[in-house]
Structure 1
Amino acid sequence: MKMDGSRLYAMTVMATLMLMEASGEQILAAWTTASPTTNLDGKMVTLSSRGGRVSFYPPYFSLPPTDPTAADANKEYMTTAYPNSANPTSASPVSASYDWTTQPPVGGVTVCLRYLLDLRWSSPFIFTLSPSGQSAMTLSVHFDGQFELRWNTLKYQSVYLTPSIRIWPDIPPDIWSRVCITMDTLKSVVQLFSGGNMSVRKMIPFKYVWSGEPVVTMSGLEGQVTDMQVWDYLLPYNDVFNYMSITRYRWPPGSVLTWSNIRYSLTGRTLLEDTYELRAKKTTRKKTHGRQLQANRRTSKNHRRAQLTSNQ
């Protein structure tokens, strides 16, 4: 009996999966070593607090294969700079290249993301920006809803931010926790936004200079993350509002990291999956398609009956 190539391939894959499943943890490696994609729209990363870790970085930036957290800090790469920093959304992006070991020619940094965490089993850390540099910035959340921002690994500086001021009452509900952190490196002012709320603007005691690599890492979490965006300027309030709203996807893509054009490195117990919204759409399409097939069958059956009746 001759076996075609597609059938032989399918049997080989099934046998491989069965062997991996029998060996326990090895089946996880099939997911974590998948080839990175550059467009993660409609995708989320699920992490386990037991060894799960993910690193996000631009498509043009390389991470050493031996250490996924230590990027080449001396590497020059292309980024997006806006000639009009006061109103970046109205300016046309231009290409610029500079060395991140020196102070970038910008006045701030903004990080936005959507996440779902089980804080009972997770560490409070959400993400770390530029993890291998002295200017590493780490955002954590505590059980009472208070956020802590840490930076400067040598001096260990931190500030607590509580998003308790309601400023956008018409933000619709969402399953995701939505957070944006803005750091004004010229005025030394930091502020946090979460959903329809914001914290007060707080002045930090020492000037912050973002000079690390364009890498964001997440680990020790029990939950999901999606839609990571990083800008090398302060995101205006109207763009923050649009990011917080699930019906207003009209903010400028991250100039340093953007979810629709990004690379990633998964380590340990992690999965790249469809978002809940995409799963719901697929389920709805399947149900709609199934109802359409049933309707077509009923129409065909009624048509055949009508033909039989007319023939009689």
Structure 2
Amino acid sequence: MISVLLNALVLLSVLGPSTSLRGQMFTVTYGGELTMYTDAISHSASPSSSTTSYPYPTTSYPYPTSSPSLSALTVCLRYMAEERKDLTLFSLTQGYYWNLLLKRYYGIDRLSIESSQDFSSYKLFGAVREPRPWTSLCVTWEKKTGMAQVWRGGTVSVKKRVFGQVTNGPPVLKVYMFEGQVTDVEVWDRVLSPSWIMSYMSGWTYWSYTPGNVLTWSKAIYSTNGEILLEENTYNSDHQPIRGHDQRPGPMKRKTKRKLEWRKSENAEQRQRAWL
């Protein structure tokens, strides 16, 4: 019990108060680890400014064991990573043993708790047009039915059963065994409706979707280990889609169109005079 309390003091001294990460992203390299916590940590002990040790969270967390378990959840995040590369997208643990893990092998998502399921994607009707170069990802899971679903950009998988016994303890989300950028991590304690998920995927203004009530990018408590860099999200600093090279230009304004037509007619008259 004393060792658990000391771990809590160490972790609190490093984490400090929650902070908004809006408009920022983490660059993660292999061997680096980003960990996000709930505000339940503030109830386990008081901060200590004299502790300088750096915590490395593994399977033991300095949290009260009386926290309620999640009966359902939705995890959403945006990421940038190399295509056709195997990676771990996130791990969501609760207590000592329960672990919801999403990996990507050969272009197929594998979601596991105690058993694993592969999820292939199908195109959505009225596909979401995401801001390049980010990929938006959401995973839903319900304890009662075991049903899970994976949403990725303008695609969605069928629902499949992924069973697992949930234990007590505040959720802890990790991004590790990953190389790329991560931003806008949100976790809810319910299965969001398809319209809410699509709002998250296509909405770059933060008021276009409701922040997660379990973990949220707008009020984050986190720690990092290894090579992790927090920096401004320069890819979409104003949260607007980035125009790609294959996108056609938008409609021309009326005044500009008239001016262009006038110049064409003037050039045609000059060429005609030159032939006379």
TM-score (ref. length: structure 1): 0.61
- Superposed, which structure 2 residues align to 1:267-282 within 5 Å? 267-277=225-235
- How far apart are the structure 2 equivalents of 1:73 and 1:123? 32
Q: Is the 8 A contact 1:114 1:228 kept in 2?
A: yes
Q: Is the 8 A contact 1:119 1:143 kept in 2?
A: no
Q: Is the 8 A contact 1:57 1:215 kept in 2?
A: yes
SS at match of 1:61: helix
Does structure 1 residue 263 correspond to structure 2 residue 202?
Answer: no
Q: Cα 1:57–1:233, aligned 2, differ >3 Å: closer, same or farther?
A: same
> 1:142 is aligned with what amino acid?
Y
Render the CA deviation track for 1:163-207: whole Å, top value 9, x for unaligned. Answer: 223233253443111110000112211111111110001123x45
Render the CA deviation track for 1:26-49: whole Å, top value 9, x for unaligned. Answer: xxxxxxx89776100011010111
Q: Is the 8 A contact 1:168 1:241 kept in 2?
A: no
Return the offset for 1:209: 2.7
Q: Cα 1:131–1:173, aligned 2, differ >3 Å: closer, same or farther?
A: same
- Superposed, which structure 2 residues align to 1:136-215 within 5 Å? 136-144=99-107, 146-152=108-114, 157-204=115-162, 206=163, 208-209=165-166, 211-215=168-172
- Superposed, which structure 2 residues align to 1:67-106 within 5 Å? 67-69=56-58, 70-75=60-65, 99-100=66-67, 103-104=69-70
Render the CA deviation track for 1:138-162: whole Å, top value 9, x for unaligned. Answer: 1111232x1001113xxxx111111
Aligned-pair identity in percent equals 31
Q: Cα 1:278–1:191, aligned 2, differ >3 Å: closer, same or farther?
A: closer
> 2:62 is aligned with what amino acid?
D
Q: Cα 1:110–1:132, aligned 2, differ >3 Å: closer, same or farther?
A: same
**Aligned equivalent of 1:23:** none
- How far apart are the structure 1 equivalents of 2:236 and 2:128? 24
Does structure 1 residue 42 correspond to structure 2 residue 23?
Answer: yes
- Superposed, which structure 2 residues align to 1:267-306 within 5 Å? 267-277=225-235
Unaligned runs of 5+ in 2: 1-13, 45-52, 240-276
> 2:229 is aligned with what amino acid?
L
- How far apart are the structure 2 equivalents of 1:133 and 1:224? 28
SS at match of 1:264: strand
Q: Cα 1:170–1:244, aligned 2, differ >3 Å: closer, same or farther?
A: closer
- How far apart are the structure 2 equivalents of 1:273 and 1:37? 17
- How far apart are the structure 1 equivalents of 2:34 and 2:95? 14
- How far apart are the structure 2 equivalents of 1:267 and 1:278? 26
- How far apart are the structure 1 equivalents of 2:238 and 2:193? 32
Q: Is the 8 A contact 1:57 1:214 kept in 2?
A: yes
Q: Is the 8 A contact 1:57 1:264 kept in 2?
A: yes
- How far apart are the structure 1 equivalents of 2:204 and 2:64? 40
Q: Cα 1:275–1:55, aligned 2, differ >3 Å: closer, same or farther?
A: same
**Aligned equivalent of 1:231:** 188
Q: Is the 8 A contact 1:114 1:176 kept in 2?
A: yes
SS at match of 1:277: coil
Return the offset for 1:278: 5.1
Q: Is the 8 A contact 2:19 2:220 kept in 1?
A: yes
Q: Cα 1:57–1:219, aligned 2, differ >3 Å: closer, same or farther?
A: same
TM-score (ref. length: structure 2): 0.69
Unaligned runs of 5+ in 1: 1-32, 76-98, 282-312
Q: Is the 8 A contact 2:94 2:168 kept in 1?
A: no
Question: Would you say how many aligned residue pairs link Structure 1 and Structure 2?
Answer: 215
Q: Cα 1:210–1:113, aligned 2, differ >3 Å: closer, same or farther?
A: farther
